[in-house]
Structure 1
């Protein structure tokens, strides 16, 4: 294929159902084997974290593995996968420049949405209505957030993203998947195998503009070099003797202990301990007297499915995990420090402290 037109031989091959070889990428618009391996490693780690996040949300075992990196175009992807896809577009706001696109088949998204709404995934809805779209969008948002966190760890710098944009597109009909990359411009496609127990065994696609992919590789290489430069030097081996043939000495052998008969043994003596005050204790506590603490009174907690939360309306009653009249929790910066009871003081609510949490209880709360 040249100048965007098919030759007669290529047309005949398409009519026979045979694949047509893609044109080679122009210079500078391809990836080396090392770059592909690096992108596969980044995808393997980041999608592993995303799988863990999705597993927690769905309550099912999720596996996202086997990344395959290739150069493609949006037009080629549309020809190869003429199916409805849920497309998640994420823009980087810190640490990287550009956009990351994730594409998941609609049928897989329907199963995920059904699990998010409390179903068992065996009888998913026939289409993604507004309610199910909100549920699956939340799961994708959590996945991409965890992916950004893992990338930050890999690159050893903060990487942040904007809220994802989620759209349902039919690759067989819709002309524009995204306006980030033209349809005929080379991009990087990373394909993953996604499994959700016995419900999903499918392919998940990550689509990256070429410049974003190369920037990721560069960040990974820089992080590896930084780690190598900070590593301690290897131990220096002692020079081998002229007759040494098989071993290298790294440390001198310890000297043999002296005979017990030549050692004088005396009882150990310690100076008497005297109680001593802690000088400057009042001064030290004074250094933090003006540090603000956020005090929160918690009436109770509850856990609900996304389906139940989306059905909340003005006037709905949310049942908490505490009985009426039970002590409320008092927290300082999110840590439980005391319990108390609600009182009314001059038409204002207040809390009377009835119990201070012991140090042992505070330590247990840290677990």
Structure 2
């Protein structure tokens, strides 16, 4: 989380060392003339925009699939449309997203057919463990609806980042069967594109990779909008406050064990803003989702005791019945509270906020 914020706030600084932009340019440094590479800052910005928008897309996909979905590890490079499609080894599904307002151009998603089959199976009420071997019309329709929800959430995230409305047409789904490697004619085989690869996991069912592809002009437009939103004044105001951020949006996935459900997400008082800071521009950080976990207690048991566990056994925790529970955000202790019931869901009523000194003491006690 801290790394994402630091990266987002440093987009207007000169890059040091070997960056994603340099790596992208190196790919076309020899041979026949290729597409003009993005600058270091533009490549970094493309990765951050993709990271935030796909984070929102993962949240949406988690809700409709009822599975934990993560989209992480963006890697940026530059390529030609034709070269990208020719490099595909497995059968893929191409999702074409065209912008109607807020941005020019298009975005493409390239996801493996087997991965789309898992999504389709979950959308149709299956468990995802026996996906269809071939994507028929019904499976494609279910998968297209999932992609529609996913890319709609991504467009909303970009709207929050850029401070303008971003609208898309319903995505077009094209199956690229084995041996079919031709890009849609409208894209042009020699067209330069920015390519961001992501790691995609869906519960225990899937651990794969997919590609987000954007035209160079679309990338440059998005980067210009981002730089306009993240001004030096905002950066200066946010840097001393970033570790004091108190707002924790709803967890991205419906919790399985002790994580707070969406209806019981905690919300802390927002710090007062420095004079001259635009609240709208702050929202691009405040909307980043955080994982909130509640710890009822801990205990230690021998391997023998663990192996002997069975239905009906009670595991006694080293916590008294009236002791407050711990509230962790991204694994860091931030507060304590009492367990309550909200609309038939468990929740936590915050009773105290952990100070930096207490947090250091807590870390020391665990080591």
Q: TM-score, normalised by structure 2?
A: 0.54
Q: Does the C-alpha gap of structure 1 residues 228 and 209 become closer, same or farther in structure 2, counting only changes over 3 Å?
A: same
**Could you tell me whether the CA contact under 8 Å between 2:35 and 2:78 is conserved in 1?**
no
Q: Does the C-alpha gap of structure 1 residues 216 and 227 become closer, same or farther in structure 2, counting only changes over 3 Å?
A: farther
Q: Does the C-alpha gap of structure 1 residues 22 and 32 become closer, same or farther in structure 2, counting only changes over 3 Å?
A: closer
Deviation readout 1:89-108 (Å, 9 max, x if unpaired)? 11111111101111110000
**Could you tell me whether the CA contact under 8 Å between 1:73 and 1:186 is conserved in 2?**
yes
Q: Secondary structure at 1:29's aligned position in 2?
A: coil
Please, which of 32, 37, 40 is the counterpart of residue 39 of structure 2? 32
Question: Could you tell me how far 1:229 is from its partner in structure 2?
Answer: 9.2
Q: Distance in 1 between matches of 2:74 and 2:113?
A: 20
Question: Could you tell me how far 1:184 is from its partner in structure 2?
Answer: 2.3
Q: Distance in 1 between matches of 2:200 and 2:54?
A: 10
Q: Does the C-alpha gap of structure 1 residues 230 and 207 become closer, same or farther in structure 2, counting only changes over 3 Å?
A: same
Q: Structure 1 segments of 4 or more deviating over 4 A? A: 21-28, 229-232
Structure 2 partner of 1:74: 81
Please, which of 108, 130, 155 is the counterpart of residue 115 of structure 2? 108
Question: Could you tell me how far 1:190 is from its partner in structure 2?
Answer: 0.6
- Equivalence map 1:1-367=2 (5 Å): 22=28, 24=30, 29-170=36-177, 172-175=179-182, 177-225=183-231, 228=234
Q: Secondary structure at 1:35's aligned position in 2?
A: helix
Question: Could you tell me how far 1:79 is from its partner in structure 2?
Answer: 2.9
**Could you tell me whether the CA contact under 8 Å between 1:93 and 1:162 is conserved in 2?**
yes
Q: Secondary structure at 1:81's aligned position in 2?
A: coil
Q: Distance in 1 between matches of 2:146 and 2:130?
A: 19
Question: Could you tell me how far 1:29 is from its partner in structure 2?
Answer: 1.7
Question: Could you tell me how far 1:48 is from its partner in structure 2?
Answer: 0.4
Q: Distance in 2 between matches of 1:89 and 1:151?
A: 17
Q: Does the C-alpha gap of structure 1 residues 97 and 230 become closer, same or farther in structure 2, counting only changes over 3 Å?
A: farther
Q: Does the C-alpha gap of structure 1 residues 94 and 184 become closer, same or farther in structure 2, counting only changes over 3 Å?
A: same
Question: Could you tell me how far 1:204 is from its partner in structure 2?
Answer: 1.1
**Could you tell me whether the CA contact under 8 Å between 1:79 and 1:172 is conserved in 2?**
no
Q: Which has the higher helix share?
A: 2
**Could you tell me whether the CA contact under 8 Å between 2:35 and 2:79 is conserved in 1?**
no
**Could you tell me whether the CA contact under 8 Å between 2:196 and 2:211 is conserved in 1?**
yes
Q: Does the C-alpha gap of structure 1 residues 123 and 171 become closer, same or farther in structure 2, counting only changes over 3 Å?
A: closer
CA-based RMSD: 2.5
Structure 1, unpaired ranges of 5+: 1-20, 235-363
Structure 2, unpaired ranges of 5+: 1-26, 241-342, 344-367
How many pairs were matched up?
214
Q: Does the C-alpha gap of structure 1 residues 27 and 204 become closer, same or farther in structure 2, counting only changes over 3 Å?
A: closer
Q: Secondary structure at 2:164's aligned position in 1?
A: coil
